[in-house]
């Protein structure tokens, strides 16, 4: 036991002699966390729960009517879906769109107010930004609903407006009969508007699946989307740390350190276990630091700590076993690194390390969740994001541990063989 | 390049290329890794186009079928796929529009019925937002158009349309700017991962090779031979620039042959953007190699920097979904300028003058980094 702790301590001390290495291992997940939080941290904080688009409004009419129209777009509920920015008509809106300054352009043509008062048709031009996909569609849908309501009002008031129109152009004052007819028409329109007043109750409630335990991870009132990404980054970092450690060990092996240790009376099992213990400690410390940073700086609640701890330890063991297997099987450092890169990349890609499994198509999800990274990432997402307990997500935690045991057995066997070779 | 012994420089370049190809990790991260990334993220975020219409199941809990029928007709007119919710409605994945009992009576009384959209998603999605807007429009049209007699009768499709449709005063006409195609899926991943992996190779693997050579004194030994430092440095530049072009050819070829990516209407603009970015990346890679004494550290820092720059530059996700301040950061980075130039050319058919600023910035970076790196490299060897 003394030899075990001595070797483990020596390994860690050797690592800390070059502090830039562990700092670099931490810099990768922390740096990427900051960027991803910047990108997705605010999603969910808008009333619609989705990012707002910018609508560039080109008013070529400059009339009172066009002004009212623009103001209506800038008020709730439209302001929940878009930010309206008025643009000078002389500016090239095409350039603004290609520069990604707006999600879409809406052109109110000159003669807008006159056409409406004259009972004619008028067309607004909507130009979506071809470089964007989501926001232009959302703005388009909101605008069409808004215009539908406006058109309904205009439709109901059409008789009254038709009577009013000639009076605005006539030189003489209206007669008693004209006034009576107009007021009658507006009264009738008012009666119909009564029904339209009910439009304030127009709403379609959205019913979502009930969450089994707790609620979704939130930051303030908003859903914390970053909570979906943190587990992937965490798992990727553990793999990187384990690979970094094993790479250093391989170099030491090439320099003859393993041979010198073999000459000592310490059993091979203790040597290998001590090294694996050192890697495990470093991986767990890295995992702990990332989770702590997630909680402190990115407001992620670490619910179900037992599930998180079990998944973290299980995956750290898997990472240790995997790297032991890869570097134990390899004859050269170059071969080990090439193989390690392939395995890390593929397993992280498929297992939801770079994008949460929940956004994969339903056909791919079961396969992705069964991979080692998939099991661990699903356990962590279920615990952190959905607050699921051991009973609910235990299958994935169990899967992580099964992978860990299999890879640790394989890794230690191959390392034993490599150690014995020397 | 007067005074350069070309055969000597080419010999150095060929030797460097041989070293790069001998390293399986470099080959993997330059050609295989990008393919896997393009394939995976291209499929994950691909545009399904018209084939991927929104499907809505209608669950009518009302005794009258009038409102369900009217909603079905109007939703079909909005290009949605409408199906009846059969079996256990709770087991249906996707969207279910629930028409509660008594909705027709509520409508006949001049009151708004309270319809519910049931979804299997736990969080809002853009598709749901768009669907909700369509549902609100259709409900409003039914509410205003159908009379009390209509909701108790049995109207056919033509009669429903006649009741609820009217000639709108203000129309919304959509005008589409000329462009090659949507910047989703492979149309995004090909230029994005071309930019990322090209920079990754030059700032990690090739930088590591240069540092290892310098540390082993191989560069100094080479200077003792008939090759001058000019030939060696030019050879280093040539090898990296050539390797970058090999990556470009593979990625573009893959985009054209495997994924059917459009390359825009102006090949000269595409060529100029690729040359400018390859020069910029070569300059950055060479300069980066002069900043480190240990190849492992250079590799680690290089990976971190490239991944950060790729994410911030719009290579990982479309910049439309990030806040404005993050979009501005993209244009302080070579990845942002490189990806934006390629995206404009490939997706928006941009011409050479339209990407002139991009070319100027990328060539400007190359004009600073290349002489600086050659000077530093000469000093350090």
A205 to B93: CB separation less than 8 angstroms, yes or no:
no
Instruction: Give the domain extent around B96.
Output: 49-164
Q: Which pLDDT does position A219 carry in this prediction?
A: 47
In-domain check, residue B177: no
In angstroms, the separation between the Cα of residue B204 and the nearest Cα of chain A is: 14
Contacts of B44 in chain A (CB under 8 A): 355, 359-360
Q: Give residues with Cβ within 8 angstroms of A54, minimum separation 6.
A: A82, A83, A84, A85, A101, A102, A103, A135
Q: Which pLDDT does position A61 carry in this prediction?
A: 86
Residue A86: how many other CB atoms lie within 10 Å: 12
Whether residues B105 and B139 share a domain: the answer is: yes
Contacts of A204 in chain B (CB under 8 A): 115-117, 132, 135-136, 139
Residue finishing a domain among B109, B135, B164: B164
In-domain check, residue A14: yes
Half-sphere exposure of A219 (CA within 13 A, CB side): 21
Strand, helix or coil for residue A397: helix
Q: How many domains, chain B?
A: 2
Instruction: Give the domain extent around A61.
Output: 53-201
Q: Which pLDDT does position B183 carry in this prediction?
A: 67
In angstroms, the separation between the Cα of residue A338 and the nearest Cα of chain B is: 4
Whether residues A190 and A154 share a domain: the answer is: yes
In-domain check, residue B1: no
CB A161 within 8 A of CB A117: yes
Whether residues A154 and A255 share a domain: the answer is: no
B170 to A134: CB separation less than 8 angstroms, yes or no:
no
Whether residues B222 and B369 share a domain: the answer is: yes
pLDDT band at residue B277, thresholds of 50, 70 and 90?
very high
- Flag whether residue A95 sits within 8 Å of chain B, measured between CB atoms: no
Token look-up 């213990």 returns: A277
Distance CA(B336)–CA(B326), nearest Å, equals: 11
Whether residues B367 and B247 share a domain: the answer is: yes
Distance CA(A381)–CA(A229), nearest Å, equals: 9
Q: Choose from A22, A77, A133, A226 for mutation: most chain B CBs within 10 A.
A: A133
Q: Which pLDDT does position A91 carry in this prediction?
A: 63
Distance CA(A141)–CA(A15), nearest Å, equals: 57
Whether residues A368 and A236 share a domain: the answer is: yes
Q: Which of B126, B130, B348 sits opposite A98 (nearest CB)?
A: B348
- ipTM score for this prediction: 0.73
Whether residues B143 and B274 share a domain: the answer is: no
Q: Which pLDDT does position A296 carry in this prediction?
A: 87
A94 to B144: CB separation less than 8 angstroms, yes or no:
no
Q: Which pLDDT does position A220 carry in this prediction?
A: 47
In angstroms, the separation between the Cα of residue B230 and the nearest Cα of chain A is: 31
- Cα Rg of chain A, angstroms: 33
- Flag whether residue A207 sits within 8 Å of chain B, measured between CB atoms: yes
Q: Which among B70, B138, B168, B144 has a CA at the least distance from the CA of A141?
A: B138
In-domain check, residue B194: yes
Contacts of A208 in chain B (CB under 8 A): 119, 121-123
Residue B354: how many other CB atoms lie within 10 Å: 17
Indicate the range of A275-289, B79-93, B127-141, B206-220 predicted with least confidence.
B79-93
Token output for A153: 């009002």
In angstroms, the separation between the Cα of residue A126 and the nearest Cα of chain B is: 5
Residues 136-155, chain A, touching B (beta carbon < 8 A): 137-138, 140-145, 147-152, 154-155
Q: Choose from B177, B188, B327, B342 for mutation: most chain A CBs within 10 A.
A: B177
Q: Choose from A33, A36, A39 for mutation: most chain B CBs within 10 A.
A: A39
B170 to A341: CB separation less than 8 angstroms, yes or no:
no
Whether residues B228 and B105 share a domain: the answer is: no
Whether residues A234 and A192 share a domain: the answer is: no
B321 to A51: CB separation less than 8 angstroms, yes or no:
yes
Q: Residue A199: in which H helix or E strand, if any?
A: none
Looking at the predicted structure, is the pLDDT value of residue B336 above 80?
A: yes
In-domain check, residue B314: yes
B183 to A131: CB separation less than 8 angstroms, yes or no:
yes
Distance CA(A369)–CA(A381), nearest Å, equals: 11
Residue finishing a domain among A147, A166, A201: A201
Whether residues A186 and A271 share a domain: the answer is: no
Whether residues B216 and B340 share a domain: the answer is: yes
Nearest chain A alpha carbon to B111: A198
Ordered mean pLDDT values, 10 residues apiece, chain A (422 residues): 79 78 80 81 60 84 85 79 77 78 89 82 89 82 84 77 73 81 78 68 78 50 70 89 84 75 76 85 90 85 90 94 89 80 83 80 82 93 86 92 94 83 64
Alpha helices in B30-118 (DSSP H): 33-44, 66-77, 103-108
Whether residues A177 and A326 share a domain: the answer is: no
- Flag whether residue A91 sits within 8 Å of chain B, measured between CB atoms: no
Q: Which of B139, B179, B318 sits opposite A204 (nearest CB)?
A: B139
Q: Choose from B136, B293, B309, B316 for mutation: most chain A CBs within 10 A.
A: B136
Nearest chain B alpha carbon to A31: B308
In-domain check, residue A217: no
Q: Which of B137, B183, B311 sits opposite A145 (nearest CB)?
A: B137
Q: How many domains, chain A?
A: 2
Token output for A204: 């379609």
Half-sphere exposure of B330 (CA within 13 A, CB side): 30
Residue finishing a domain among B136, B164, B192: B164
Secondary structure (DSSP) of B48-64:
-GGGS--EEEEEE-SS-
In-domain check, residue A211: no
In-domain check, residue A192: yes
Whether residues B29 and B150 share a domain: the answer is: no
In-domain check, residue B12: yes
B326 to A50: CB separation less than 8 angstroms, yes or no:
no
- Flag whether residue A338 sits within 8 Å of chain B, measured between CB atoms: yes
Q: Which pLDDT does position A321 carry in this prediction?
A: 93
Whether residues B270 and B341 share a domain: the answer is: yes
Q: Give residues with Cβ within 8 angstroms of A85, minimum separation 6.
A: A54, A55, A56, A57, A102
Average pLDDT, chain B: 85
Contacts of B37 in chain A (CB under 8 A): 349
Whether residues B186 and B288 share a domain: the answer is: yes
Q: Which of B37, B117, B135 sits opposite A207 (nearest CB)?
A: B117
Q: Which pLDDT does position B141 carry in this prediction?
A: 83
Residue finishing a domain among B135, B164, B193: B164
Token output for B233: 């440095």
Q: Which pLDDT does position A372 carry in this prediction?
A: 93
- Flag whether residue A210 sits within 8 Å of chain B, measured between CB atoms: no
Whether residues A371 and A304 share a domain: the answer is: yes
In-domain check, residue B171: no
Whether residues B193 and B275 share a domain: the answer is: yes
Whether residues A228 and A374 share a domain: the answer is: yes
Q: Which among B93, B80, B94 has a CA at the least distance from the CA of B50?
A: B80
Whether residues B101 and B32 share a domain: the answer is: no
In-domain check, residue A218: no
Whether residues B26 and B82 share a domain: the answer is: no
- Cα Rg of chain B, angstroms: 30
In angstroms, the separation between the Cα of residue B114 and the nearest Cα of chain A is: 7
Q: Which of A32, A38, A49 sits opposite B123 (nearest CB)?
A: A49
In-domain check, residue B80: yes
B119 to A207: CB separation less than 8 angstroms, yes or no:
yes
Q: Which pLDDT does position B50 carry in this prediction?
A: 47
Alpha helices in B78-217 (DSSP H): 103-108, 126-145, 148-152, 157-164, 185-203, 205-215
In-domain check, residue A47: no
Question: Residue B90 gets which letter from DSSP?
Answer: G
In angstroms, the separation between the Cα of residue B346 and the nearest Cα of chain A is: 11
Query: Is it true that the peptide bond before A57 is cis, omega within 30 degrees of 0?
Result: no
Whether residues A34 and A95 share a domain: the answer is: no
In angstroms, the separation between the Cα of residue B361 and the nearest Cα of chain A is: 16
Nearest chain A alpha carbon to B344: A98
In-domain check, residue A311: yes
Task: Give residue-wise pLDDT tens across range A149-160.
Answer: 888 778 777 777
Contacts of A155 in chain B (CB under 8 A): 166, 168-169
Q: What is the CATH number of the domain that holds B67?
A: 3.40.1710
In-domain check, residue A214: no
Q: Which pLDDT does position A370 carry in this prediction?
A: 92
Nearest chain B alpha carbon to A351: B40
In angstroms, the separation between the Cα of residue A122 and the nearest Cα of chain B is: 5
- Flag whether residue A221 sits within 8 Å of chain B, measured between CB atoms: no
Whether residues A150 and A255 share a domain: the answer is: no
Whether residues A29 and A60 share a domain: the answer is: no
A50 to B172: CB separation less than 8 angstroms, yes or no:
no
Task: Give residue-wise pLDDT tens across range B63-87.
Answer: 888 888 888 888 888 888 888 877 7
In-domain check, residue B102: yes
Strands lying side by side in the sheet with A205-207: A205-207, B116-119, B95-99, B55-60, B81-84
- Flag whether residue A72 sits within 8 Å of chain B, measured between CB atoms: no
In angstroms, the separation between the Cα of residue A60 and the nearest Cα of chain B is: 15
Whether residues A417 and A281 share a domain: the answer is: yes
């Amino acid at each position: 036991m003394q030899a075990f702790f001595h070797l483990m301590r020596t390994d860690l001390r050797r690592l800390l002699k070059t502090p830039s290495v562990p700092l670099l291992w931490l810099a990768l997940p922390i740096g990427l966390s900051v960027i991803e939080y910047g990108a997705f941290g605010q999603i969910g904080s808008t009333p619609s729960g989705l990012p707002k688009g910018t609508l560039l409004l080109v008013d070529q009419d400059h009339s009172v009517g066009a002004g009212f129209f623009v103001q209506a777009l800038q008020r709730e509920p439209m302001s929940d879906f878009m930010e309206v920015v008025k643009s000078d008509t002389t500016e090239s809106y095409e350039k603004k769109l290609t520069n990604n300054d707006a999600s879409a352009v809406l052109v109110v043509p000159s003669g807008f107010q006159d056409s409406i008062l004259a009972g004619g048709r008028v067309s607004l031009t909507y130009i979506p930004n071809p470089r964007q996909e989501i926001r232009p569609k959302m703005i388009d849908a909101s605008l069409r609903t808004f215009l539908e309501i406006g058109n309904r009002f205009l439709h109901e008031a059409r008789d009254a407006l038709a009577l009013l129109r000639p009076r605005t152009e006539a030189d003489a004052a209206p007669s008693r009969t004209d006034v009576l007819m107009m007021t009658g028409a507006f009264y009738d329109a008012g009666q119909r508007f009564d029904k339209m007043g009910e439009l304030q109750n127009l709403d379609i409630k959205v019913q979502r699946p009930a969450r089994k335990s707790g609620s979704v991870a939130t930051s303030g009132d908003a859903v914390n989307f970053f909570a979906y990404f943190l587990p992937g980054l965490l798992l990727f970092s553990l793999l990187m740390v384990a690979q970094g450690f094993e790479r250093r060990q391989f170099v030491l092996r090439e320099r003859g350190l393993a041979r010198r240790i073999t000459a000592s009376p310490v059993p091979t099992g203790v040597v290998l276990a001590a090294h694996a213990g050192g890697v495990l400690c470093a991986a767990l410390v890295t995992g702990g630091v990332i989770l702590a940073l997630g909680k402190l700086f990115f407001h992620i609640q670490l619910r179900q700590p037992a599930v998180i701890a079990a998944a973290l330890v299980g995956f750290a063991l898997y990472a240790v076993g995997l790297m032991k297997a890869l570097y134990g099987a390899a004859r050269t450092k170059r071969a080990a690194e090439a193989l390690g890169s392939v395995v890390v990349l593929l397993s992280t890609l498929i297992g939801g390390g770079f994008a949460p499994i929940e956004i994969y198509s339903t056909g791919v999800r079961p396969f992705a969740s069964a991979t080692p990274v998939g099991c661990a990432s699903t356990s962590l997402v279920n615990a952190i994001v959905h607050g699921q307990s051991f009973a609910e997500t235990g299958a994935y935690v169990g899967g992580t541990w099964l992978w860990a045991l299999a890879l640790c057995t394989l890794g230690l066997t191959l390392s034993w063989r490599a150690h014995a070779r020397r | 390049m007067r005074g350069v012994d070309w055969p000597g420089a080419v010999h150095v370049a060929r030797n460097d290329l041989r070293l790069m190809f001998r390293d399986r990790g470099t080959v993997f991260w330059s050609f295989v890794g990008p393919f896997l990334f393009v394939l995976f993220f291209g499929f994950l975020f691909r545009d399904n186009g018209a084939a991927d219409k929104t499907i809505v199941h209608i669950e009518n809990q009302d005794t009258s079928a009038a409102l369900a029928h009217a909603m079905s007709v109007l939703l079909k007119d909005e290009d949605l796929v409408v199906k009846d919710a059969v079996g256990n409605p709770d087991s249906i994945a996707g969207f279910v529009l629930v028409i509660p009992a008594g909705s027709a009576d509520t409508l006949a009384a001049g009151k708004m019925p309270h319809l519910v959209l049931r979804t299997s998603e736990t969080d809002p999605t853009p598709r749901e937002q768009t669907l909700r807007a369509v549902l609100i429009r259709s409900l409003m049209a039914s509410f205003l158009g159908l009379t009390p007699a209509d909701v108790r009768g049995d109207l056919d499709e033509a009669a429903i349309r006649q009741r609820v449709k009217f000639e709108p005063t203000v129309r919304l006409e959509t005008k589409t700017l000329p462009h090659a195609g949507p910047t989703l899926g492979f149309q995004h991943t090909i230029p994005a991962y071309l930019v990322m992996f090209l920079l990754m190779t030059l700032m990690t693997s090739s930088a590591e090779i240069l540092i290892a050579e310098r540390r082993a004194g191989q560069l100094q030994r080479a200077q003792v031979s008939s090759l001058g430092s000019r030939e060696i440095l030019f050879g280093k530049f040539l090898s990296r620039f050539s390797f970058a072009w090999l990556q470009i050819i593979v990625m573009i070829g893959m985009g054209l042959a495997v994924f059917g990516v459009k390359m825009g209407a102006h090949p000269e603009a595409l060529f100029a953007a690729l040359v400018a970015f390859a020069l910029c990346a070569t300059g950055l890679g060479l300069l980066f190699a002069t900043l480190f004494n240990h190849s492992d550290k250079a590799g680690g820092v290089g990976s971190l920097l490239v991944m950060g720059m790729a994410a911030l530059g719009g290579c990982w996700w479309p910049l439309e979904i990030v806040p404005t301040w993050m979009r501005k950061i993209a244009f302080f980075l070579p990845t942002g300028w490189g990806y934006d130039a390629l995206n404009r050319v490939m997706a928006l058919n941009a011409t050479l003058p339209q990407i002139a600023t991009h070319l100027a910035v990328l060539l400007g970076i190359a004009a600073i980094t290349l002489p600086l790196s050659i000077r530093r490299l000469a000093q350090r060897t």
